[in-house]
Structure 1
Amino acid sequence: MRRRRAPSPGASCQAQSRLPPLFAHRDTRIISKSTAPPCGSPYSAPPPPSPGMSYYHQGHPPPPGGYAPPRPAQHGHQQQPGSYPQMHASPTPAPVAGSPGAYLAAQQHHPPPPFAAALSTPQPQRYQAQPMVMIPQRSPQQHMMQQPHPSQPPPLQQYQRYPSMPAQFPPQHSSPPYQAPRPQQPQHSRPSHNPVPRAAQAASPPRQPIVQVQIPRPPPASPPPIDQQQLLISLADEYVTAAYAMGPTVALSRRQSDEDRYYKLMSTGLGCLEAVIKHHRMHPRQEAMTILRYATLLHDETDNAYETEEMLSKGITLCDRHHMLDLKYTMHHLLARSLFTSNHAAAMKSIDGVIRYAEMYQHVPWIYAFRFLRASLCMQSATHADLTAAMHTLHEVSGLSGKLGDQAIYVASTTILAMVYLRLMNPDSIEQAQRSIASARSLQLQFTMDELGQIVALLDLIDLACNLQSYKPDQAVAKMRDLQAIMDSAVNGDDSMDDGMFSVLVHRPPNLQLTGSTGGIFQRNEDGRDRLSLAWMRRRDLWMLGYYLSGVTALLKNPIENKAESYLKEGLKLTKETLAVPDRNPMSIRGASARTEWHRALDWHFRLYQCFMACNKADWKTARTHLAALDQAAPMFSEDRRPSMTRFAIYLNGVIEQGYGNTQAALGHFRMLRATNMSATQHTAQSDLSNLAIMNTLLIIRSPTHPMHSEAEDLLQKIEAPCLTHPNFSMRSACQLLKATTKGKDTSIIKMKQCIQHALHAAKAVANNQLLAICMNYMTAAFFTNIIGEQTEKSAKAGRVLAKRAGDRLWQCVADSMLADTYDKRGDAAQASQPRQEAEALLPYLPAPLREAQ
């Protein structure tokens, strides 16, 4: 309900009091938000409406005397400024000019034209609905007019509330004719809580006009076309990455379902790359890199050597055509590695051709890379001819690097050359290896650790191996301490850089055309120089190898101390942990399998040395436990490793049976290890096992009463030449001792004394306490039996001291018994009682046949 105010006296506006009675029945819930200025105000009346303006159903009627643009209908409670709130149930007042009621009245008085006439009337152009921005805008008079002083009355100003609309509607849509107002009914409305004073209502500023701005909306953009080439390459990377993520787990578990999933992912990735290469045109460099990636995966994951070589030949031709030297050399590098798996000679020929090409154009970094590759492939073959070829290749690398001033390359080449010398096992191999190590160490102090990388650790490992093979315990202990210091310094290293590689700095100006994209063969240093990458081992692998060599060194120095056993136990603990948990670093299943097999081989060698240590202490029960673990682990290795492991197990079985007194079973094991061809110059692990088996056989059949004693002399002649020239002085000492103890046709006292003297000197040179104890006790038994004198007592006491130092219970018991017999023969029973009691205390630890012989 709307409450109307009474007009003021003297009002001249008749539009507020004279309304047509036709509109009295209209609903008054839709109230205008603006009111006309009161009569007598300083504001002038608005201009008359345009005759062509049509009325639409408006929720907010325009003010009297003016027209407004169409607005959306609003219903409900509306508050008009300066008036009381309107209610829905209020009596219907007279319609206001410009309201919907006025529009309906106009339609009744002026009916619309016929349909045909309406069609002939020009219609306004319709546009597609666009977003609109409503911008309030002042009239130009308000912008130009100066504001009056508050004490002065406001000046009269022309103000147009709404802009006039164009005359594009029919003339019948004009305002309705004037009609006399009907008497108003009393209205009842709720009084307003905050009535607006009349002065404030009169002083309220007029509403500002609104300008409608239409902003054209751009049509929706169509999605760009899919780049199938890039999509396939991305999919290939995703599939290969997913396969590499599960590679270590598959290599450790060896479940068939996991292997099938791995190879399915890898084959899908290869198919994506193959589709890109065959069906899409690319930039030459991108195509060459895609071919290299595809060929690398073929080489690493499949046995398709022919397809790999065909793809690489295509890529090399592409690189030649577009002069991409870095990718061309990288493909040649991969081609040589692929050829080596099927044809060794073809791979060497390919490498030699690339080296000549690089030397012609003075591409020095690639000369180094391919010569190191050639030496590495020759070392994998492990034949004497190939090792000699590797030695010559490394000599060429060291000569070129020394001439050009690449000192880091020189240190790396001489270090690897020392490794080759150790594997050659020539009579002067250890001496040549030590010379190479000395040459590398002469330049070691000229570089920082960052420039040399892990070459220093490799150098210390090879130096320690030289001392172990030459059986120099004191020097080996010193080298072991240097290696342990490097291992301790690497504890807090960066795990992100622990990728199993080490790099060597090339002191040459960088050339991106040569080494821009090499697939990891070269790396970029911080100052821009190139670093040649070489395969190495990870930090944890270096720790395990360090524990192994430390245990071997401690065992060589003093078998009685528990230091060697503690080293071996700690290293065995590391290998167990490594084999129980998959590697965190993603890699191919072939690479993960090779690393897992290396860990198993190292674990097997830890147990092997534990078994040897138990045999050295005559702890046959523990030795048999370790041997069972060796037999259980052997089937997990590849076919090429099993024969050598089987021979070690056979030898240890024979030694344990011999220790228990089962000589016939021991002879059966030793007979299996006899070699047909014995070389006096070649000293390998398998030839050493054959020589040791024959030596143990001679210890059993040396007595003339043994049924096989007739074979003793032939067996002794068979091992004499290789053992007396062996670099291990312990082998020489054992051979001389067997010559003295084995009774042949031409055995004499003088010859026996000479052999025992040579055996003592050789054993003393390497501080082998066990051989020294055997030699001294045998000399006492052979030359001082039934002889009473000071020399006899000294010899017996020396043998007893050496036997205790060696920790061998058998020889301790023998030495105590001989010393007690010496005292008894001299008539000193009191002194004989102590060594005899010690000998009787050791009898339960001896084999049953020996106890019965006592």
Structure 2
Amino acid sequence: MHYYHQPQQPQPGGYGPPRPPSHGYPPQQQPGGYPQMHSSSAPAPVAGSPGAYLAAQQQHQPYSLAAPAPPQAPHRPGHPVVMIPQRAPQQHMMHQQQQVQPYPPQPPQYPSQHSSPPFQPPRPQPPYHSRPASVAVPQSGSPPRQPTVQVQIPRPGPSSPAPIDKEQLLLSLADEYVAAAHAMGSSVALSRRQSDENKYYKLMSTALGCMEAALKNSRMHPRLEAALILRYASLLHEETENTVEEEEILSKGITLCERHRMLDLKYTMQHLLAQSLFKSSHAAALKSIDGVIHYAEMYQHIPWIYAFRFLRASLCMQSDSHSELTSAMHTLHEVSSLSERLGDSAIYVASTTIMAMVHLRLMNPDSVEQAQRAIASARSLQLQLTMDELGQIITLLDIIDLACNLQSYRPNQAVAKVRDLQVVMDSAVHGDDQTGDDGTFSILIHRNPNAQLTGMTGGIFQKNSDGRDRLSISWMRRRDLWMLGYYLSGVTALLKNSTEAKADSYLKEGLKLTRETLTVPDRNPSSISGASARMEWHRALDWHLRLYQCFMACNKAEWKAARAHLAALDQAAPMISEDRRPAMTRFAIYLNGVIEQGCGNTETALSHFRMLYVTAAVPNQRTVQSDLSVLAIMNTLLMIRSPTHPMHSEAEGLLQRIEQYCQSHPNQSMVSAFELLKATTRGKDSSIIKMKQCIQKALHAAKAVTNNQLLCICMNYMTAAFFTNIIGEQTEKSARAGKVLARRAGDKLWQCVADHMLADTYEKRGDAQQAASARAEAQAFMPYLPAPLREPR
């Protein structure tokens, strides 16, 4: 408030003349002395009033008197002082009027209506207010000086730090501990040193402890709490075997999500809960999934219907039970029907592709045919979609298509399929995709996205560039796909020609990649369980690559190399999981028998083959183990077929035991081998006519699959059985054909046999020179034969 100087002397005691109240205000609240803010004209100044005094001063030279300075606030060290200028109320109003006044300024003889306050009678002052003795009077021509106010901004000193957010600190520490543990996960899984494992699990337990403390001692937003519960349960599921605590924390999280209607986190926790239940009870897990699917169908949450049905099918496929695989087939059929009705073409292709894989695992008589029908359904929509919409499902489709041709033993079609697969794998491995290689691929869902359903799903769904959802499917990394491609290429080349050098080169390249993977830790962060599972797959692939190398060496009669490969198989077998060892042991037993038979140790070979008789050969259910049992019986028949052998009496029963199984086998090589054994084994009802019929069937079956080894054996047996001691052109043609086929097969034993038979034919015809040449070629192969075979009989 500004006080104006009064011309009269103050009353004794320092009080001015009293002013009567006006405008109905009480004396204590009368606003007299404030500038008038309305636009009415001011009354004429009255003598002795402040207005008259100011009007008189306008005709003289203005002078300025310093206003008394306001009291200064005490300055404290360490606090900044900010100087803020203030504007007097009169000056403030004049400044505003100068900016908005639309009329020209008044002449100087007329004072401004806001230059002085209007006249008001003096009012009495309360007795306890005292007026200063002398007050500076502001002049109209010179505005008063602006007072300066000092404002102190408080600033915390160094001794008072900001409070610590304990919740954020715990979560940050947990993330760092998990990242540090996963960084060493691959190396720990590879080395298996106890000290490294203890360090890994100590880091992981500390991270879980931080999360548990944050959950128990902090009050968080419900969504943040649910996300933390999901993270905590995921680590429990992956890193520990504590399924009880995992199920408890997930049940608590599901209840929290239901209370606050967080559908995305609720479905994600139910997805993880089903996987946890599957560890202890398969039936409980499947029942839980069925309940969630029913709820999602009721509210038409389509993305989660796809996710839980694919989860149900994958859990059923983890078992080899026929009923579980049939249940998986039914679930995938529901997915394909729903996706076809809603127009989700990519989901339809994925479901039918996995359905074809399940058909192959069922091993029914029509499994290959049903799988090929499913592949044809997937191919019908393949051209309507882009590679970005399908992901790597096309690569999986090509692999299953190749597997159908391998299982039905069609080498020509398999060679064409493997070429297409190699092109796809080259584009997948060396393509322009620079995204992270985490071993998953995603499939586009052709529906409008709903953030409430798929906002936070823990990686189950991903977002497309246009915002639509993509369902993630776990498969294999690019390097693993590259190794699998080498393996399939080698197997296909081996099926086409068992002695082809290209098959050996494919297998060697695959072994090189697996050796590198099993000796150098992976750089990608991973848990011990994830790295161990991937390493287990690498060891199994390495074992199968060596298995086919051993088979190829046996086909070439390279027994020394075969023994070396077999020794490598025996050395690698203990590193494989126990559930796979029985099948691998049976393979090793069979190969041991084959090598001993090839080296001429028939008694040792028979002892190995007898160990494989226990598997029953069921005609309509073919497995790898039943095929091995039948092959062991076939090799036994080759050694005991002669009537002079002590075990010849068992030949007829063994032949009848495998007859129905072999005649209905999809592999034409098995059919050809059985017909050849039936022709060479002399039974009670053997006759020349039946022998010719059997050999003719064997030749046709061998020609269908281009099996040069079986063709060579058939032709040489025909020469020995039907053209011995016969001179003629047909005899010479048969002997020459046997020699040519033996060279194509690459078997030194049969090349030696064919050259000897051709030499005998030339001698009987009287051509001594050609007979000597053929016999010299036969003698050249003798050093490569085992010692028992080189001895004269």
Query: Could you state the TM-score of these two structures normalised by the residue count of structure 1?
Result: 0.75
Q: CA deviation at 1:495?
A: 4.8
Q: Secondary structure at the match of 1:225?
A: coil
Residue among 217, 220, 230 paired with 1:292 = 230
Cross-structure match for 1:836: 775
State the partner residue of 2:610.
671
AA partner of residue 185 (structure 2) = G
Amino acid aligned to 2:707: N
The answer to whether the Cα contact below 8 Å between 1:133 and 1:213 also exists between their aligned partners in 2 is no
Cα 1:570–1:705 change in 2 (3 A) is: same
CA contact (8 A) 1:132 1:214 kept: no
CA distance in 2, matches of 1:665, 1:675: 18
Letter in 2 for 1:218: P
| Corresponding residue number in structure 1 for 2:107 | none
- Name the structure 2 match of 1:218: 154
Q: Which residue of 1 aligns with 2:19?
A: none
- 2:719–2:734 Cα contact (<8 Å) kept: yes
> What is the DSSP-based 3-state SS (H/G/I as helix, E as strand, rest coil) of the residue aligned with 2:470?
strand
Shift of the 296–752 alpha-carbon distance from structure 1 to 2, 3 Å rule, reads same
Aligned counterparts of 1:745 and 1:262: Cα–Cα separation in 2: 70
2:399 is aligned with 1:461: yes
**Distance in structure 2 (CA, Å) of the matches to 1:427 and 1:381:** 20
CA distances 1:145-175 after superposition (whole Å, capped 9, x unpaired): xxxxxxxxxxxxxxxxxxxxxxxxxxxxxxx
Counterparts in 2 of 1:792 and 1:130: CA distance versus 1, 3 Å = closer
Q: CA deviation at 1:358?
A: 1.0
Whole-angstrom distance in 2 between the partners of 1:784 and 1:277:
89
**RMSD between aligned residues:** 2.0
1:500 and 2:439 aligned: yes
Partner Cα distance (1:353, 1:255) in 2: 44
The match for 1:373 is: 311
Between the aligned partners of 1:717 and 1:134, the Cα distance in structure 2 is 109
Identify the residue that residue 328 of structure 2 maps to in structure 1. Answer: 390
Paired AA for residue 341 in structure 1: K
Distance 1:413 1:676 in 2: 34
- Secondary structure of the residue that 1:853 maps to in structure 2? coil
**What's the offset of the Cα at 1:706?**
1.1
Match of 2:424 in 1: 486
In the alignment, what sits opposite 2:541? 602
**Overall identity of the aligned pairs, in %:** 77
Of residues 802, 814, 823 in structure 1, which corresponds to 2:762?
Answer: 823
Structure 1 residues 705-760: Cα deviation after superposition (integer angstroms, max 9, x where no partner): 11111211221122222222222111111111111111222222222222111111
Q: Which residue pairs with 2:345 in the alignment? A: 407
Q: Which runs of 4+ in 1 moved over 6 A?
A: 130-135, 211-215
Residue 254 of structure 1 aligns with an amino acid whose one-letter code is R
Whether 1:687 and 2:626 are equivalent positions in the alignment is yes
Amino acid at match of 1:411: V
1:480 is displaced (CA, Å) by 0.9
CA 1:277–1:780 in structure 2 vs 1: closer, same or farther (change >3 Å)? same
The residue type paired with residue 519 of structure 2 is: A
1:730 aligns with 2:666: no
1:494 CA displacement: 3.6
Q: 2:284 aligned with 1:346, yes or no?
A: yes
Q: State how 1:705-716 maps to structure 2 within 5 Å.
A: 705-716=644-655
Q: Is the 8 A contact 2:460 2:471 kept in 1?
A: yes
- 1:86-118 CA deviation, whole Å, 9 max, x = no partner? xxxxxxxxxxxxxxxxxxxxxxxxxxxxxxxxx
2:759–2:771 CA contact under 8 A, matched in 1: yes
Q: Which residue of 2 aligns with 1:592?
A: 531
SS of alignment partner, residue 706 of structure 1 = coil
Alignment match, 2:720: 781
CA distance 1:134–1:839, change in 2 (3 Å): closer
Q: Structure 1 residues 499, 130: closer, same or farther in 2, change over 3 A?
A: closer
1:229 is aligned to 167
Structure 1, gaps ≥5 residues long: 1-123, 136-210
* SS of 1:503 mapped into structure 2: strand
Q: Give CA deviations for 1:485-543 in whole Å, capped at 9, x if unaligned.
A: 11222314445421100101001110111111111110010000000000111111111
Q: In 1, distance between residues paired with 2:661 and 2:218?
A: 66
Q: Within 5 Å, which residues of 2 pair with 1:618-697?
A: 618-697=557-636
SS across alignment from 2:383? helix
1:416 and 2:360 matched: no
Q: What residue number does 2:7 align with?
A: none
Alpha-carbon offset, residue 301 of structure 1: 0.8
Aligned to 1:27: none
Give the letter for the 1:636 counterpart: M
Conserved in 1, the CA contact under 8 Å of 2:79 and 2:155? Answer: no
Question: Is 2:207 the counterpart of 1:274?
Answer: no
CA distance in 2, matches of 1:723, 1:641: 26
* 3-state SS in 1 of match to 2:523: coil
- TM-score in terms of structure 2 length: 0.80
Asked if the contact 2:615–2:626 (Cα under 8 Å) also holds between the matched residues in 1, the reply is no
Offset of 1:853 from its aligned partner? 3.0
| Residue 598 (structure 1) shift | 0.8
Equivalence map 1:756-771=2 (5 Å): 756-771=695-710
Which of 296, 299, 302 aligns to 1:358? It is 296
Structure 1 contact 777–799 (Cα < 8 Å) conserved = yes
Partner of 1:316: 254
Give the letter for the 1:322 counterpart: H
In structure 2, do the counterparts of structure 1 residues 321 and 454 end up closer, same or farther at CA, with 3 Å as the change threshold?
same
Q: Please give the alpha-carbon distance, in whole angstroms, between the structure 2 residues aligned to 1:442 and 1:339.
A: 38
Rounded Cα–Cα distance in structure 2 between residues aligned with 1:454 and 1:702: 52
Say which SS state the counterpart of residue 518 (structure 1) adopts: coil
- Deviations along 1:226-262, one digit per CA (max 9) or x if unpaired, are 2222222211111111111110010111111100111
- 1:426 is matched with 364
Instruction: Extract unaligned runs of 5+ from structure 2.
Output: 1-71, 84-146
Structure 1 residues 132 and 729 mapped into 2: Cα distance closer, same or farther (>3 Å)?
closer
Give the greater-gyration-radius structure (CA).
Answer: 1
| Structure 2 counterpart of 1:530 | 469
1:142-153 mapped onto 2 (5 Å cutoff): none
The answer as to whether partners of 2:615 and 2:629 remain within 8 angstroms in 1 is: no
Residue number in structure 1 paired with 2:104 = none
> Any conservation in 1 of the 2:709–2:742 contact (CA below 8 Å)?
yes
1:128 shift after superposition: 4.3
Indicate how the Cα distance of structure 1 residues 128 and 346 shifts in structure 2: closer, same or farther if over 3 A, else same.
Answer: closer
In the alignment of these two chains, the number of paired residues is 656
SS of residue paired to 2:441: strand
The separation in 1 between residues aligned to 2:437 and 2:253, in whole angstroms, is 32
- In 1, Cα distance between equivalents of 2:716 and 2:288: 62
In structure 1, the residue matched to 2:273 is 335
What residue number does 1:611 align with?
Answer: 550
Tell me if structure 1 keeps the 8 A contact 2:82–2:150: no
